[in-house]
Structure 1
Amino acid sequence: MTHSSTPTLAVALIVKNEAKHLQACLETVQGWVDEIVILDSGSTDETESIARQFTDRFFVNTEWPGFGKQRQLAQQYVTADYVLWLDADERVTPELKEDILTAVKANKPNVAYKINRLSSAFGKFIKHSGWSPDWVVRLYKVNDMAYNDALVHESVSVPDGVQVAPLSGRLLHFTYDVLHQYNAKNVMYIKSWVDQREGKKKGSLSGAFFHGFFCFIRMYILKRGFLDGRHGLLLAMLSASVTFNRYADLWLRDYNKSNKE
């Protein structure tokens, strides 16, 4: 760990087959961070060669432990005082860059920082539907905290007594261009979600239906997804389907297990 009058800043990413996005992401942090740490989980595209144009701090772990623990492992390679977490499909705006640098220079004790993401789906930025505002804790002192152990939808475990302060500027998030990307990604998320709850939470087919139905109502009506136009309707329907599949899979696992006993 570097100890100096000016705190150092690392950017950390976990990646797999991110050749499409990685260069554009790293270009937004190139030149103003002290370290870039990338942990790959087994890419078969040009991810590694692109990463090495920006950093020699490139590591590989193909024994996938889940998102939370993979981030914990990546953080072990960070030598800077602060870490800024990014995904390959995200971009740091100039306004956000300046606020990050100001926060690091201030070096306040017991403070972590959250960032407001603006996400694009299928070619359009989504400003409602429960997608915006989207505050995520992404900047903190390496010695103070880390991500939790969640297999999917992991988050930073913020200790008691640590204030979470907002940063100005947006983090742009480019999620899906076409539908098969959405479906492929959510197949993995559904499995991880069910793996995490199997044996701890009961599922039912009627529960799957109602969870899916209320997911649609929440996104499209309560979260004003209708203001996002046809994209809002599509996202609400897709999210309802994913939610239904989660609970249906949980029910099927319970059903199959009970029939074997």
Structure 2
Amino acid sequence: MPPQDITLCMIVKNEEKHLDRCLRSVREWVSEIIIGDTGSTDQTQSIAMKYGARIIELEWNNDFAEARNRVLDMASCSWILVLDADEEADNWDADVLSGMLTSDDRIAGFYIPLISYYDTISEEAYITDSVCRLFRNHPSLRFRGAIHENAADSVLELTQRPIPYAPLQIKHYGYLQSEIDQKNKHFRNLELILASLQKDPLNVQLLYALGTEYFQEGQYGESLKHLIPVYEQNPESGFISDVYLKTAYALYMTGHSELAEVITEQGITNHPGFTDLLELKGILLTQKEAYGEAYDWMLKASVQGKAKPMYSSTAGSGTYRTSWLSGRLSEKLLHPERALFHYQHALLLHRDYLPAWADALHCSLLSGNTLPMLDWIIPRNTSILQEQLDLLIPAALNAGREDWLEFIVQTRALSEQRQLWITLMLRYASEPGCRLYTELLDSSSCWPEDPFWLSYLWSAAWKAQDSDAAGHVDEQLQLIHSPLTLIHAYLSGRNHEPPSEKELVPALQLLLQCRAYPQVHQLLTAFYEYSSSLSLPASVIAGLLSAPVHVLHAWCLQWGQSFSGDKQRIPALEEILLYASIAQRCSSSACLDAAAIHLGSYSHNTYALVARAACLTEKSTLRYSIPVKSGIRLPLLLRAATMRP
């Protein structure tokens, strides 16, 4: 199909990085390219001429609308397409484009969805918006606004009818952090907006633009100073729905949740198809611990799906992110199977979405329902991301999941060193005695003074109950200033002051993976005796629960005895729930009884009440052989009670 009757109009400055991609994306559709250059000193103009562009030298007067309109004045085709250099037409269809331009003489312009990526690495995170960038070449159709300029207002005034939405989209890379940093866009935009506001201080579009700049920088308090006046005026404009969303979210982030909920509800009433507001309503209810209501709102957002084109939306709203949030709420409501369903749905929509992947992994571990892991959480026929491996490897080692470890060894993402390490752990970690230590010692000669190998060698020495060998490795660890030296001093009795959480949790995991159970419980005891508000990772809890039954019995006995000499210490809720979970695993009636007693100190906590009932039911079943089960898995209750909403 020949080019359309379209002039591409652009303004640029030093855009050699992006311009070729932009022009390549539209060269088949446009008959004319006119580029206004405001002072490029790189290869921008050479790239433009390669595509037959007409270049106009423009003086920059800190006014985007003025610059764009001077380029529009030069256009000769019937239609005008406006793009920035950091944008590209996303696989436009020639027949669709042709049909748009000839379908209705009363149409003077089109809104085109704009997909703006903002992640620092990939294109997974984006926000959507709609911009009027394709319109007729008419002297009345011009841009307005020194910054965040738009042509939509002039199109609406000319036609006196709504602007239709095009079934096409534009990709925008200008919000990538690398681009913002390179061009210093935030400060440039602030200067232009503030200068324009001095001339027109009540301009709602400028106030919205200023509030948005602060919002994007995470300065929510400052953004509210400018967004709230726009919200109060409630102008009839295309951006008012976004004002509702940004204002409500900024209020939520600054601790004004009640007012945020009021504005969210007003926004939903006025814009019922705005998925992001439905999701935000669920988030606000989650903060109030109204988990059932929050879940219902998440379902409404999922049913709605992606926001309609007229709304400025974010990636995942109504789709994979909402499904993930629904899964977390299901866990809070003690419905693990339903949670796994939502996580699976999120991963079907976006297979590399790490939050859903991590929660699916941990929920599966604690529920004991790990059969689907290799099928849908760990896809067999696709590559696995390093971030996923970083979660999967410790979880598999902690819990002794040999099937997962065999899968991991076969992945291409592992170095030769890591493959050997996992192979040795797979073969020898579960064996009693010193075999793991000797094998690691022999292999460590290939990587002398490597902190990674030394850490596992130290842990394996404790597994072998060889304190002299552990001390020898500790001498090497001291030379590289490893934090494990503090742990070693505590375990060996040289220092009675327990380590901090920063050092303790990684060491606990190391010892757990090597099955050094006496030292594991020594650190676990220290963790809870001196830390009342800390939480263990779910993978560590799963590893603790996978210890042999006789080890768990010993831990329960030690835990019960630890309170005989300290009547004042009230254990943290997480500690009680962990030992109740251990007691459930090893059928310790005495530990269940102790847990039920301590849970009485948390009578205001719903999860504590449920856990106490579960402990008493389990204890009755064990003591009196009454075939009654609560149906509550205490490890999942522990996760629900301690996971952040």
- TM above 0.5, yes or no, is yes
Aligned equivalents of 2:19 and 2:13: distance in 1? Answer: 10
Matched, 1:81 2:78: yes
CA offset digits 1:142-175 (Å, max 9, x no partner): 1164333311110002224244111113211112
Q: Normalised by the size of structure 2, how large is the TM-score?
A: 0.31
Partner of 2:221: 210
SS in 2 for 1:210: helix
CA offset digits 1:48-74 (Å, max 9, x no partner): 110010124111112425001111101
| Cα distance, 1:181–1:149 mapped onto 2, change above 3 Å | same
Q: Tell me how far 1:91 sits from its aligned partner.
A: 1.1
Q: 2:145 aligns with which of 126, 144, 150?
A: 150
| Cα distance, 1:148–1:30 mapped onto 2, change above 3 Å | closer
Show structure 2 runs of 5+ residues with no match: 208-218, 228-245, 254-263, 265-275, 281-313, 322-352, 355-645
Q: Normalised by the size of structure 1, how large is the TM-score?
A: 0.71
Partner of 1:178: 178
**As a proportion of its length, which structure holds more helix?**
2
Aligned equivalents of 1:200 and 1:9: distance in 2? Answer: 35
Aligned equivalents of 1:87 and 1:35: distance in 2? Answer: 16
Structure with the bigger RCO (C-alpha within 8 Å, sep 6+) is 1
> Partner amino acid for 1:212?
S
Q: 2:64 aligns with which of 67, 87, 95?
A: 67
Aligned equivalents of 1:201 and 1:167: distance in 2? Answer: 34
Aligned equivalents of 1:148 and 1:170: distance in 2? Answer: 20
| Cα distance, 1:66–1:217 mapped onto 2, change above 3 Å | same
| Cα distance, 1:41–1:31 mapped onto 2, change above 3 Å | same
Partner of 1:237: none
Partner of 1:92: 89
Query: In terms of Rg, which structure is larger?
Result: 2
Matched, 1:103 2:100: yes
| Cα distance, 1:110–1:167 mapped onto 2, change above 3 Å | closer
Q: Tell me how far 1:120 sits from its aligned partner.
A: 1.2
> Partner amino acid for 1:188?
R
**As a proportion of its length, which structure holds more strand?**
1
Aligned equivalents of 1:194 and 1:145: distance in 2? Answer: 27
> Partner amino acid for 1:140?
F
CA offset digits 1:100-124 (Å, max 9, x no partner): 2321233522431010011112234
CA offset digits 1:114-141 (Å, max 9, x no partner): 100111122344666xx22x11111111
Alignment of 1:153-168 (within 5 A): 153-156=148-151, 157-158=154-155, 159-160=157-158, 161-168=160-167
Pairs aligned (count): 218
Aligned equivalents of 2:28 and 2:173: distance in 1? Answer: 22
Aligned equivalents of 2:102 and 2:200: distance in 1? Answer: 44
> Partner amino acid for 2:222?
H
Q: Tell me how far 1:25 sits from its aligned partner.
A: 0.4
> Partner amino acid for 1:44?
T
Aligned equivalents of 2:315 and 2:44: distance in 1? Answer: 37
Partner of 2:11: 14
Aligned equivalents of 2:41 and 2:5: distance in 1? Answer: 32
SS in 1 for 2:168: strand
Q: Tell me how far 1:93 sits from its aligned partner.
A: 1.8
Aligned equivalents of 1:77 and 1:38: distance in 2? Answer: 10
Q: 1:123 aligns with which of 115, 121, 124?
A: 121
Aligned equivalents of 2:95 and 2:170: distance in 1? Answer: 12
SS in 1 for 2:52: coil
* Contact 2:4–2:29, Cα closer than 8 Å, also in 1: no
Matched, 1:138 2:149: no
| Cα distance, 1:127–1:179 mapped onto 2, change above 3 Å | closer
Partner of 2:195: 195
Q: Tell me how far 1:37 sits from its aligned partner.
A: 1.0
| Cα distance, 1:7–1:178 mapped onto 2, change above 3 Å | closer
Show structure 1 runs of 5+ residues with no match: 1-5, 231-261
